[in-house]
Amino acid sequence: MADFYQHGTIATLHRLGNPDYKSLEEEMVSLARTSPLALVLPCHARDLKSTALAAIVAELRDARFVSHVTVGLDGGDASDFDSARQIFSALPQRVSILWNDGPRIKALLADLARAGLDPGPMGKGRNMRLCVGQVLAGTDTTAVAIHDCDILHYRRELLVRLCFPVLHPDMAFHVSKGFSARFSTQLNGRVMRLLITPLLRAMEGLEGFSQTLAPLQYFRYPISGEVCLHRCVAESVRFPSDWGVETGMMADVFRVARMERICQVDIAESYDHKHQSLSEGDPDAGLNKMACDVALCLLRAASPGIESPASNPFQGLVEKFLQVGKGMLRFYSADARINTLKFDGELEARTIELFAASLERAISIHEADPGKPAGAPSWQQIESKLPGFGIALAQAASDDAAR
């Protein structure tokens, strides 16, 4: 996105022209000697055979600025765990693999539940949270970077640009959020364009919105999977357990980090990854479920700790969402047209209708338990109630590696 517009709230670091990332990378290698960087890769067993993951591992072999890689493996049996160990053994960095379906980590999750620290269901959010805990307890890293395992055409430049603002002492950011143009032959980024943006705008009139969700509008792509957190933020931020993890985490960073310590970075000229299906007939799959999880996270963030509101604050929200969302379709159509991209107006309108139904489900779930927080306990809270839990998690990963 070749512009340099700053809206004056959080810093936006643009990608202007074709910057020499190799010189930034060499600087990162020097910075990492005194400010070590860990990388978290939330991975599902189905990703292990993908060409995307193979390309990511090949690029990371030369990422000399990364000292530690923690992989969270979800949905995997013992054979998948062995495959993961073989795949990531190609990396020269110190590697830890959390076998989240293995007996050791399952036992630790049960400990969390017994202590009243709900670990949440299996999902990307829980996976990320466990990995971050292992990094905090098992390494001396200054910062933790996170990105997905399904990024197509991956280059190390993405990771360099994402982490440089946190590691460089003159910048000294505590949160760096990645964004990039999401397009191929058409406009992508459906959850951002057709759910989050119109939903946040529809929620602007809610009481307390300016204190809770308004800052989220500063991010160009809060749902992206790429983020770098300073250790002090990683210890305190709350990670929802489901598909709402990125959105909920970014809504929460303003609680634990000062505005001037937060930036967003254009990390790639263009970006693509595997795309979820709409799953129009199945509310428990694909974008249908993702939209419900994300909407629920936003609803909970908008009304923190209100166990029995005097009135329904979300009355009329679905109708307002539909009005705003459909009103924006003309903008997206024009943007696609001037860039000679395909645009299916009928499919876009149908997607908004699907997301409206997902929002209705999210409102019903929230109303049934309005006091439930938006995110799971932070690592600071976990260690306060279960001292040494992070060390036990790191030990479980080490014991599994030795099996």
Q: Name the band, by pLDDT with cuts 50, 70 and 90, for residue 2.
A: low
Q: What is the pTM of this model?
A: 0.90
Q: What is the mean pLDDT of residues 98-110?
A: 97
What pLDDT, on the 0 to 100 scale, is given for residue 28? 95
Residue 239 near residue 124, CB atoms below 8 Å? no
pLDDT over 70, % of the chain: 96
- d(C-alpha 281, C-alpha 350), whole Å: 13
User: Per the structure block, which two tokens stand in for 336?
Assistant: 């696609």
What pLDDT, on the 0 to 100 scale, is given for residue 402? 85
Q: pLDDT at residue 161 above 90?
A: yes
DSSP 39: E
Q: What is the mean pLDDT of residues 5-32?
A: 89
User: Per the structure block, which two tokens stand in for 70?
Assistant: 């923690």
**Strand pairing class (175-180; 272-273):** unpaired
What pLDDT, on the 0 to 100 scale, is given for residue 290? 87
What pLDDT, on the 0 to 100 scale, is given for residue 230? 97
Q: pLDDT at residue 339 above 80?
A: yes
Q: Name the band, by pLDDT with cuts 50, 70 and 90, for residue 309.
A: low
Quick: pLDDT tens for 114-151: 999 988 888 888 999 999 999 999 999 999 999 999 98
What pLDDT, on the 0 to 100 scale, is given for residue 25? 95
- d(C-alpha 233, C-alpha 136), whole Å: 11
Q: pLDDT at residue 56 above 90?
A: yes
Q: Name the band, by pLDDT with cuts 50, 70 and 90, for residue 102.
A: very high
What pLDDT, on the 0 to 100 scale, is given for residue 328? 95
Q: pLDDT at residue 21 above 90?
A: no
What pLDDT, on the 0 to 100 scale, is given for residue 275? 59
What pLDDT, on the 0 to 100 scale, is given for residue 274? 61
Q: Name the band, by pLDDT with cuts 50, 70 and 90, for residue 43.
A: very high
CATH of 11-188+206-274+376-401, one of 3.90.1150.10, 3.30.70.260, 3.90.550.10, 3.30.950.10: 3.90.550.10
Concatenate the DSSP letters of all residues of 63-128 into one string.
Answer: -TT--EEEEEEES--HHHHHHHHHHHTT-SSEEEEEETTSHHHHHHHHHHHHTT----SSSHHHHH
Radius of gyration of the chain (CA): 21
**Strand pairing class (175-180; 262-268):** parallel
**Strand pairing class (68-74; 151-152):** unpaired
User: Do you know the residue count of the chain?
Assistant: 403
Q: What is the mean pLDDT of residues 258-285?
A: 78
Quick: pLDDT tens for 173-219: 999 999 887 777 888 888 899 999 999 999 998 887 888 888 888 88
What pLDDT, on the 0 to 100 scale, is given for residue 38? 98
Q: Among 252-256, 281-285, 380-384, name the most confident range.
A: 380-384
Q: What is the mean pLDDT of residues 229-237?
A: 96
Q: What is the mean pLDDT of residues 154-169?
A: 95
Domain boundaries, the chain: 11-188+206-274+376-401
Q: Which of 211, 205, 178 is nearest to 192 (CA)?
A: 178
Q: What is the mean pLDDT of residues 284-290?
A: 82
